[in-house]
Amino acid sequence: MNLEIDTRLVEAYRRDGFVHAPGLLSAAKIAEYGAAVDEAVARRKARDTRTLDEKTPYEQSFIQCQYIWEDFPEVRPLTFHPRVCGLAAALIGAPRLRLWHDQALYKEAGGRETEAHTDHPYWPIAGRDNTLTAWIPLQAVDLDVGCMGYVPGSQNDEAAFIDIFTAPGAGKALEARYADTPARFVPCAPGDVIFHHGHTVHMAKPNRSDRTRRVYTAIYFADGARRGGDRAHPSVDRDGIGDGGVIDGAATPLAWPLPDGRLPTPAPWPEMTGRRAQHAKLLGIVPDTAG
Ligand code: SIN
Ligand code: NI
């Protein structure tokens, strides 16, 4: 498939470490995909009846459902959308891309800010400049609802592991380092997509509105990348890819270009017996087909 790539988007991404692509998808299609993601989140979270107050600070930033392309086939055309994946490949300058994982990030009404962090240190993927996230709002997202902010140029810095999961406030220390180059916050309309580099410092505003901020994200990496380190992660552990191995299993299918133009088929999850894995399944963070 031939795609017209706007070189201004590529230049902005390389300079700033993020780029806002207005109207990359149609608002009508976003309404369709949004309904599919809503259904996935509702079904995954059916057993989690906690109120916002009862959740951990990290969970108060958003409801998180990962790998939803696998158990919700209606989501797949968005995960592997040629306009999203083709542009993502051009941004990182890779001929082929793989999916690392997707996720719904639904910030509930009254939800906490998303603290500043960088993504790549969370993933055992060797290299740099070879990962990026497509952040796809399923509705208009402004400062009140919880739009994203990005520190321009921060992709060139050494990325640190910021523990936003169990150390509330950790992101504030990172933000303080960038007092001279504050984050740029980016309101979006339905159909817009924002791409950010795996090393870019980013965060999101709290949701001060009375409605949920509905967002779908997909993380892609350059085909050929190897596992870097033994940090546990389903995207490599499921396929038994050890440190240094090429990441090319069924959990991380080719996203661009799609082989034969066909959407990938997910593989079953191996049995998961660990306490953390059971918890993730119970809370709907990962598919229920998981062992
Ligand atoms: C958010 O949507 O609030 C955070 C997204 C991200 O960290 O990539
Ligand atoms: Ni992030």
- Report the pLDDT averaged over residues 131-155: 98
Q: What's the CATH fold of domain 7-282?
A: Jelly Rolls (2.60.120)
Q: In what order do the strands lie in the sheet with 114-117?
A: 114-117, 202-204, 148-150, 184-186
Q: Ligand 1 pocket, 133 CB below 6 A?
A: yes
What's this model's pTM, rounded to 2 decimal places? Answer: 0.97
State which ligand 1 atom lies nearest to the alpha carbon of 202: 7
| Contact by Cβ (8 Å): 65, 284 | yes
**Per-residue H/E/C for 46-76:** CCCCCCHHHCCCCCCCCEEEECHHHHCHHHH
Query: Contact at 8 Å (CB) between 84 and 192?
Result: no
**Residue 94 in this model has a pLDDT that exceeds 70:** yes
Does residue 174 have its Cβ closer than 6 Å to ligand 1?
A: no
The tens digit of pLDDT for each residue in 250-260 reads 999 999 999 99
Average pLDDT of the segment spanning 164-185 = 95
Burial of 184 from C-beta contacts in 10 A (0-12 / 13-18 / 19+): middle
Q: Is 215's C-beta closer than 6 angstroms to any atom of ligand 1? A: yes
Can you tell me which atom of ligand 1 is nearest the CA of 107? 3
Atom of ligand 1 nearest to the CA of 196: 8
Rg (CA), the chain: 18
Of ligand 1's listed atoms, the one at least distance from the Cα of 114 is 3
Q: What is the pLDDT of residue 277?
A: 86
Q: pLDDT digit string (tens) for 194-231?
A: 999 999 999 999 999 999 999 999 999 999 999 999 99
pLDDT at 172 > cutoff 60: yes
Whether the pLDDT of residue 291 is over 70: the answer is: no
Query: For residues 68 and 208, what is the distance between their CA atoms, to the nearest angstrom?
Result: 27
The Cα–Cα gap between 114 and 20 comes to: 19
204 lines ligand 1 (CB under 6 A): yes
Å from CA of 31 to ligand 2 middle: 24
pLDDT for res 248: 98
For 100, residues 6+ apart whose C-beta sits below 8 A from its C-beta are 123, 125, 131, 219, 220, 221, 235, 252
Tens digit of each residue's pLDDT (9 = 90 or more) over 30-73:
999 999 999 999 999 999 999 999 999 999 999 999 999 999 99
Over residues 182-201, the mean pLDDT reads 98
**Mean pLDDT, all residues of the chain:** 96
Å from CA of 260 to ligand 2 middle = 31
pLDDT of residue 1: 57
Render pLDDT for 227-264 as a digit per residue (tens, 0 to 9): 999 999 999 999 999 999 999 999 999 999 999 999 99
Measure 117 CA to ligand 2 centroid, in angstroms.
6
Please give the pLDDT value at position 290: 47
